[in-house]
Amino acid sequence: MQFVTQTVGKQYQDFADESSALAAAAGGYCGRDGNPESDLQLLQQQWLKTMSAWQTVQWVRFGPIVQNNEDWRIQFWPDKKNLVSRKTQQLLQKDEPITDAVIESASVVIQGLSELELLLFDEEYTPVYAADDPMAQRQCQLLEAVSNRLKKTTSQIAADWKDPAANEEWLNTIADQDEKQLASLRNGKIVDSILAQVERVKVDKLGGPLGFKNRSKQANGYFSESWRSGSSLENVKHNLAAIKALLAHPDEYDLSDYLIEHDQAELAQKLAASLDSILTQIEAVDADLKVAVTQPQSKAEIAKIYDQVNGLNQILREQLAPALGVVLGFNSNDGD
C-alpha cells in the first residue's frame, strides 16, 4: 500500500503547499503598498494554482478527507442556492472584525476555495479592494481569514497522511491479507474513487451546465464549477489527467501495467484511448464552459465531451471493475 500512504500523501502535500502560498499572497496583498490591480492578478493566479492542486487530488475518496468530512470545507460546490454569496454578504454587513476565529466558527460554506473565488474574481467584490473605505478593509479581513482557514485544513490533511499512527490504523484495516488480497483491496479503493470522480464530472461538472439535471433541460452556464474564475474546463482537465496518471506511472501506481499482467492489455489500451480522446476534445473548446453551453456550436462540443465521459464511465463500471474483481461501493452519484 505504498502508493496510498506515500503518493496520495504527496499530492495532498502539494495542495497544502499551494494553499500556504495563497494565504501568504493574501496577507501580502491586503498589506500592500503596490498596484491593487496587478497585485490582485497575482493573487488570482495563485488561487488558480491552488484550485488545480485540489482538482488533481479531488478523486481520492478514502483516508483523512473522508474520515473528517473535509471536502465541503475545502470547496462548497455545487452551490444551488447561491449560499456562498448570501453568507458572505451577511458576514460583511456585521460590525465585528472578521478574524480567523470568526471564520473557524462560521459555516463551512465560506471556509474554502469557493469563498475565495467569490472574493477574488466576482465583479461585485474585486473593485472594492481599490477603494479606501471600511468595506475594502472588511473584504481583506475576510480574504485573509478564509485563506488561513484553507491553509490550516489542507495542512492538517497532509499531516494526517504522514502520521505514523494514522498510517498504522489504516494498515491495520488490511492486516492479515495476502498479496493478492492486498492488490484487490488497493484496486477496489482506487477504482471506486476513480468511478465516483468520473461520474461527478459527467453529472455535475458537465451535465449540470448543459441542463441535463434540470426539469427544463435548459443550459445554464452558472451551474458550472468555478464559473467566476472561468476555470471550469481546466478543472475537468485536471480531474481526468489525474486519472490518466493512475493508469501509467511506472514509479508509483501503474494500473495499466497491472491490467497487462492480468491479460487485460486491450482494456488498458481502451481506457488510455478514451482519456486521451476526452482531453484532446477539451483542448479544442475555444470558450469557457459558462459561455460555451450558451452557444450552439460550442454547446455541441461540450455535449460530445459529456458523451465521451459517459463512455469512459461505462468502461470503468462494466469492464474495469469486473476485470479486477472489484465490487463497487455506493457513491452520491449512483442512480443518476
Residue 50, pLDDT > 70, answer yes
Sign of CA dihedral 106, 108, 111, 116: negative
Placement of cell 469492464 in the chain: 319
**What type of residue is 13?**
Q
Helix (H, G, I), strand (E, B) or coil at 188: helix
Give the per-residue pLDDT at 12: 94
Of 45-49, 154-158, 164-168, 231-235, least confident by mean pLDDT is 164-168
Residue 296, pLDDT > 70, answer yes
Give the per-residue pLDDT at 161: 86
Residue 167, pLDDT > 80, answer no
CA distances from 226 to 55, 118, 229 (A): 11, 9, 6
Residue 224 per-residue DSSP state: S
Residue 205 per-residue DSSP state: I
What number is the average pLDDT over the span 34-47?
85
Of 9-18, 108-117, 247-256, 315-324, least confident by mean pLDDT is 247-256
Task: Quote the CA–CA distance of 143 and 65 in Å, as a whole number.
Answer: 24
Helix (H, G, I), strand (E, B) or coil at 249: coil
Residue 4, pLDDT > 80, answer no
Sign of CA dihedral 172, 71, 237, 331: positive
Q: How confident is the model at residue 8 (pLDDT cuts 50, 70, 90)?
A: confident
**What type of residue is 47?**
W
Give the per-residue pLDDT at 248: 73
Give the per-residue pLDDT at 164: 76
pTM across the whole model: 0.91
Look at residues 274, 130, 264, 289 and name the one whose alpha carbon lies nearest to residue 207: 289
Measured from the Cβ of residue 1, the count of other Cβ atoms closer than 10 Å reads: 15
Task: Quote the CA–CA distance of 170 and 81 in Å, as a whole number.
Answer: 37
Measured from the Cβ of residue 113, the count of other Cβ atoms closer than 10 Å reads: 23
Task: Quote the CA–CA distance of 111 and 10 in Å, as a whole number.
Answer: 23
Give the per-residue pLDDT at 186: 65
What number is the average pLDDT over the span 212-216?
86
What number is the average pLDDT over the span 48-65?
93
CB-hemisphere CA count at 13 Å for 142? Answer: 33
Residue 170, pLDDT > 80, answer no
Cell of 209: 451546465
Residues in Cβ contact with 329 at an 8 Å cutoff, skipping those fewer than 6 apart: 192
Residue 183, pLDDT > 70, answer no
Give the per-residue pLDDT at 63: 82
Query: Per-residue pLDDT tens for 108-143?
Result: 999 999 999 999 999 999 999 988 889 999 999 999
Give the per-residue pLDDT at 336: 42
Residue 335, pLDDT > 50, answer no
**What type of residue is 330?**
F
Give the per-residue pLDDT at 334: 47
Give the per-residue pLDDT at 18: 98
End-to-end Cα, the chain, rounded Å: 32
> Is residue 161 a contact partner of residue 69, using CB atoms and an 8 Å limit?
no
Cell of 174: 488490511
> Is residue 63 a contact partner of residue 160, using CB atoms and an 8 Å limit?
yes
Residue 85, pLDDT > 80, answer yes
Q: Across the chain, what does the average pLDDT equal? A: 88
Task: Quote the CA–CA distance of 331 and 336 in Å, as a whole number.
Answer: 11
Give the per-residue pLDDT at 165: 74
